[in-house]
């Protein structure tokens, strides 16, 4: 009863402060957790660097398999692309078998090396940094909009335990798949290029090109997962504070996708996410690579802040 009375007093004071208004939209646009994203990028880069190091180590052996699979002296006429194709078809079973065995060795060494990384611990640090930055921005938003301060330690302890634990578990699995998927694509590409009669030099060039594509994909995952955790924490904060609706706010630059730009400035309910693209429904930050945010609408009859 005392707690409910306290909440009612706060609500009435806020109404008086804002001259009888029933609600007000946040006036502060929270900052994106850039430093948490940088840490995630660093972690992904270190994982991809291990893959590159191992690939470079085994490239000479791969060249030898492709160049001279049977171990016999090669005729100079095989410099001709047509002759290379013919020889490769004749030695197809031998070569494919040797390539398969080589990539099995690469997979095994990669998993052994990456197993030495304390991936879960690193991700816990990133998650903790993300939540720390998001809470800081939430407190600043409440202070600048309502001119009140939240309890300093309210969002510590177990408040975000489930959200952070689920995110860490999901991202451990996600990061582990990045180098393995990258190697899988490289292995498939090597088979195809070999069958096409591609020269050793060009096969190695294509391997480096595919690795670069995979590295960019890893960076995209880092940005996407940082935004998703930030969005999940934001939703949890606002729902806990009795906030039912928010204003969609885009980052306002050229990178904002057209469908999200259309949502900018519109009001939505936390119970009914808007359609963002082709039937997909998401809150700000929950769509792939989304940097939009949810500006809370503080309804004074519903507000429940730890003041």
pLDDT at position 72, please? 43
The closest of 137, 125, 185, 159 to 239, measured between CA atoms, is 159
* pLDDT mean over 138-156: 90
Is 80 exceeded by the pLDDT of residue 146? Answer: yes
Burial 29-54 (b: 16+ CB within 10 A, else e): ebebbeebbebbbebbeebbebbbeb
pLDDT computed for residue 86 by the predictor: 66
Length of the chain: 307
Residue, of 53 and 198, whose pLDDT is higher: 53
* Percent over 70 (pLDDT), the chain: 92
Q: What average pLDDT does the segment 290-298 reach? A: 94
Secondary structure of 29-89 in the HEC alphabet? CCCCCHHHHHHHHHHHHHHHHHHHHHHHHHHHHHHHHHHCCCCCCCCHHHHCHHHHHHHHH
68-126 pLDDT, tens digit per residue, is: 655 444 454 445 666 666 666 667 778 888 999 999 999 999 999 988 888 999 999 99
At 98-107, the pLDDT tens digits run 999 999 999 9
Dihedral sign for Cα atoms in the order 26, 262, 235, 45: negative
If one counts every other C-beta atom within 10 angstroms of the C-beta of residue 152, the result is: 9
User: What is the predicted pLDDT for the residue at 37?
Assistant: 95
Question: pTM (2 decimals)?
Answer: 0.85
Q: Of 157, 148, 141, 155, whose CA–CA distance to 10 is shortest?
A: 148
- Helix, strand, or coil (residue 293): strand
pLDDT of residue 84: 63
Residues 244-278: pLDDT tens digits?
999 999 987 778 888 899 999 999 999 999 998 88
Give the CB-side neighbour count of residue 241, counting CA atoms within 13 A: 28
Whole-number pLDDT of residue 73:
43
Q: Round to whole Å and give the CA distance between 38 and 42.
A: 6
Nearest-angstrom CA–CA distance, 249 and 261: 9
Mean pLDDT of the chain: 88
pLDDT of residue 154: 84
DSSP letter at 90 equals H
* Torsion from C-alpha of 296, 299, 304, 307, nearest 10 degrees: 80
The confidence score (pLDDT) of residue 90 equals: 65
pLDDT tens profile 166-190: 999 999 999 989 998 999 999 999 9
Structure tokens at 297: 């609408």
Q: What is the pLDDT of residue 71?
A: 47
More confident residue, 27 or 251: 27
User: Where does the pLDDT of residue 58 fall: very low under 50, low under 70, confident under 90, or very high at 90 and above?
Assistant: very high
179 φ, ψ (degrees, to nearest 5): -65, -35
Q: Tell me, what's the pLDDT at 283?
A: 96
What per-residue confidence (pLDDT) applies to 8? 82
């Amino acid at each position: 009863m005392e707690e409910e009375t306290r909440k009612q007093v706060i609500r009435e004071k806020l109404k008086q402060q804002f001259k009888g208004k029933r609600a007000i939209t946040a006036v502060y646009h929270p900052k994106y957790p850039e430093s948490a994203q940088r840490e995630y990028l660093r972690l992904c880069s270190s994982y991809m660097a291990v893959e590159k190091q191992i690939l470079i180590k085994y490239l000479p052996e791969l060249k030898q398999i492709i160049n001279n699979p049977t171990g016999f002296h090669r005729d100079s006429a095989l410099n001709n692309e047509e002759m290379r194709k013919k020889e490769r078809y004749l030695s197809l079973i031998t070569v494919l078998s040797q390539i398969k065995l080589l990539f099995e060795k690469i997979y095994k060494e990669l998993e052994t090396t990456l197993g030495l990384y304390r991936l879960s611990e690193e991700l816990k640090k990133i998650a903790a940094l993300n939540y720390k930055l998001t809470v800081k921005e939430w407190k600043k938003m409440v202070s600048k909009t309502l001119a009140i301060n939240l309890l300093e330690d309210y969002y510590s302890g177990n408040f975000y335990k489930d959200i952070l634990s689920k995110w860490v578990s999901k991202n451990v699995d996600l990061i582990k798949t990045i180098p393995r998927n990258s190697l899988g694509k490289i292995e498939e590409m090597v088979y195809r290029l070999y069958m096409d009669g591609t020269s050793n030099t060009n096969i190695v060039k294509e391997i480096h090109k595919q690795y670069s594509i995979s590295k960019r994909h890893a960076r995209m995952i880092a940005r996407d997962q940082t935004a998703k955790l930030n969005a999940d924490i934001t939703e949890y904060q606002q729902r806990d504070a009795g906030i039912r609706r928010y204003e969609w706010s885009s980052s306002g630059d050229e990178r904002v996708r057209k469908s999200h730009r259309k949502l900018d400035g519109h009001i939505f309910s936390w119970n009914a996410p808007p359609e963002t693209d082709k039937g997909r429904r998401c809150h700000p930050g929950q769509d792939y690579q989304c940097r939009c945010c949810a500006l809370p609408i503080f309804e004074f009859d519903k507000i429940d802040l730890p003041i």
